[in-house]
Amino acid sequence: MHLTAIILTYNESAHIADCIESVRFADKILVFDSYSTDDTVAIAKGCHAEVIQRKFDDYAGQRNAALDAVAGQTDWVLFVDADERITTEQELEIREKIELPDYVGWRIPRHNYIFGVLTKGAGWFPDYQTRLLRVGLVQYDPTRQVHEVVELDGLEGTLDNPLIHYNYRDLAHFVSKQRQYVAYDAKILFEQGIHPKFRNFILQPLRQFYWRFVTLAGYQDRLHGLKLSLLMAWYEFRKYWILRNLWRGK
């Protein structure tokens, strides 16, 4: 089975070389770039990866375009983000799994390093990502522009070995990403016709905190887990505040 590793990039010069090295076991490496303004493309070409550039519309559209680009050239694709790394143990498992005829997709657990700390509670592990896909039998739901969802025409399995994800460098990076996510989530609620109620501003953040810190065992990461659970509770509040402003704007 022929395997192509696909790395989506935009201004990933700090990560791209190490990411490419971690997927050297693939038969082909494709960097699918959104017209980076830094040295990402030059570094990728220097690492002997193929580069295709496409203007970014949304994540689902970008991944579907990448799948179309390799259609008829490969049997399987492995999507890896530039800040992720494939381990040696995972490499062997991937090669084994793509030989199984009954599966069209495999989800992969992730070890998330947040602010440089391996985070196993508060919902960041196992953090399954369906990234190993049989070409021609999968596509991404075009309506899910963020937190994209892959649709499989067949069975999905689960790998045992986690990939490494260097997630959220620092608090500023975390805040930037969460602002994007909650704005998108608020827009979805708005389009569904949901009006925020006063209790949402109190109960939803409390529920988010309890879910992260207690149900999803954020407490096992101690102060780090407490900090993340509180941050996620705050952004749950922000989601409803943005939703309120959307209705006021209308």
Instruction: Determine the pLDDT at residue 58.
Output: 87
Q: How confident is the model at residue 127 (pLDDT cuts 50, 70, 90)?
A: very high
239 with 205: CB under 8 angstroms? no
DSSP state of 217: -
What b/e sequence results for 154-192 when a residue is b if at least 16 CB atoms lie within 10 Å of its CB, and e otherwise?
eebeebebbbbbbbbeeeeebeeebeeebebbbbebbee
Instruction: Determine the pLDDT at residue 125.
Output: 95
* Mean of all residue pLDDT scores within the chain: 95
The model's pLDDT over 172-220, given as tens digits with 9 standing for 90+, comes to: 999 999 999 999 899 999 999 999 999 999 999 999 999 999 999 999 9
Amino acid 8 reads L
For CATH 3.90.550.10, list the domain ranges present in the chain.
Answer: 3-167
Q: How confident is the model at residue 49 (pLDDT cuts 50, 70, 90)?
A: very high
DSSP state of 161: S
Name the class of domain 3-167: alpha beta
- Give the strands of the sheet with 50-53, arranged side by side: 50-53, 28-33, 3-9, 76-81, 129-134, 103-108, 155-158
Instruction: Determine the pLDDT at residue 67.
Output: 97
Instruction: Determine the pLDDT at residue 144.
Output: 78
The Cα–Cα gap between 42 and 117 comes to 31
Residue whose C-alpha is closest to residue 131's, from 177, 166, 89, 94: 94
Helix axes 200-210, 222-249, angle to 10 degrees: 150
Instruction: Determine the pLDDT at residue 145.
Output: 67
The two structure tokens encoding residue 198: 């006063």
The two structure tokens encoding residue 210: 């309890």
- Provide the 3-class DSSP secondary structure of residue 4: strand
The Cα–Cα gap between 32 and 26 comes to 16
Instruction: Determine the pLDDT at residue 148.
Output: 84
Res 146 pLDDT > 80: no
The Cα–Cα gap between 177 and 200 comes to 22
Q: What are the residues whose beta carbons fall under 8 Å from the beta carbon of 119, sequence distance 6 or more?
A: 112, 113, 125, 221, 224, 225, 228
